[in-house]
Every structure is written in C-alpha cells, then in structure tokens.
Amino acid sequence: MIALNVQDVKDFMARLLISEEFDSFWLCEASITTFSTFQIDGTLRPEFFDTEEAEALTKSGRTHCLWQEVKPYCFSVIKGKKTPLSFKIVFQLSRQASEQLLLKNASSWSINDIYGLYLNLQYDGTSLICTTGTSMKLFSMDKSLDLLWDEAVITFFKKHQIAMLSV
C-alpha cells in the first residue's frame, strides 16, 4: 500500500470528472459531502437489467458500475462555486485489467486468488490523498502483488501527468 498526495487538486478533479482517464475503473463506492452527504454504492443489481443484459454482465464478470456511468451524477453534486467539504471514492481495477496486469508482469498470482485491486481517493476539503490496496482470497506473506499494484498506479499517474508526492 502506498499513499500519494495530489499536488494539483483542481487539475486532478478535472481529470476525474471531465476527462476519461478513470472511466474504465469500477466504482465500489462514493461518498460526497457538500450541503448534504450523497452516497453511491457501485454494486450492480442484476435484477434491474433485462435477461440479455444480466447474462452479458454475468459473462463479463462485471459486478460494479463503471466510473464513466456514475461520473455525471458525481459531477452534478460537486460542480458549483463551492468546493465539496469532503469526498471519498473507492475504485477497483476491473477483473479483465487485473488479469492483464498479472499476465503482463508474469506474476505468480492467479486472478482467482484476488478479490480486488483498489484505488482510494479521499479529499478532506484541502488535500487529496490516493491510496492503493489489495484484497486477497487467501493469506500470504508474499507482498509481490501489493508492489505490482503500487507500481501500476504510479505508472498510471505518470502516464497521465498527474503530479503526486508520497505521504
């Protein structure tokens, strides 16, 4: 796990809410506090979808909303002259992207060993901290997956020219 402090919060927020950099992440949860607190559970509800859509979701292994699907709602809550008092957003790397990360890096871990690879964004009214996290289905002292995910997040931020400092 690493914690990174966003250096330019305004630029980061534009990337998060307007551009497409984060669109492919699954949204686990979001909590935004402005004049009230708005909470979103990103878990998909298969019973909402028609049979074909539900089957497609099941086949893909997707269990959460994509950020691109929820982003407009979050943007509508955040936009305005006043900045939010706080927010917390928890992203998960998709199952397919997680599997690609493991294969690309010849990891000894299997996708079936992993619950998820997470990116947590937490804004307290002044600073924005990004932390990484992994959740495994089994206990291990091997931290190679943690290190792999940390490096992947750092590479993602560098690729998108998002300035960060370690906390």
Which pLDDT does position 110 carry in this prediction? 86
pTM of the model: 0.92
- Cβ count near 124 (within 10 Å): 12
Which pLDDT does position 140 carry in this prediction? 81
Structure token digits, residue 21: 């950099």
Task: Look at residues 134, 90, 144, 91 and name the one whose alpha carbon lies nearest to residue 114.
Answer: 134
Sign of CA dihedral 22, 27, 33, 36: positive
Alpha-helical segments (H) within the chain: 9-17, 51-60, 67-78, 95-104, 144-159
Which pLDDT does position 119 carry in this prediction? 98
Which pLDDT does position 27 carry in this prediction? 98
* pLDDT by 10s per residue, the chain, length 167: 999 999 999 999 999 999 999 999 999 999 999 999 999 999 999 899 999 998 888 888 889 999 999 999 999 999 888 999 999 999 999 999 999 999 998 888 888 899 999 999 999 999 999 999 999 898 888 888 999 999 999 999 999 999 998 88
- CA triple 75-89-37, angle to 5 deg: 65
- Cβ count near 87 (within 10 Å): 24
Which own/partner contact pairs does 42-47 have at CB distance under 8 Å and 24+ positions apart?
Answer: 42/70
Which pLDDT does position 101 carry in this prediction? 94
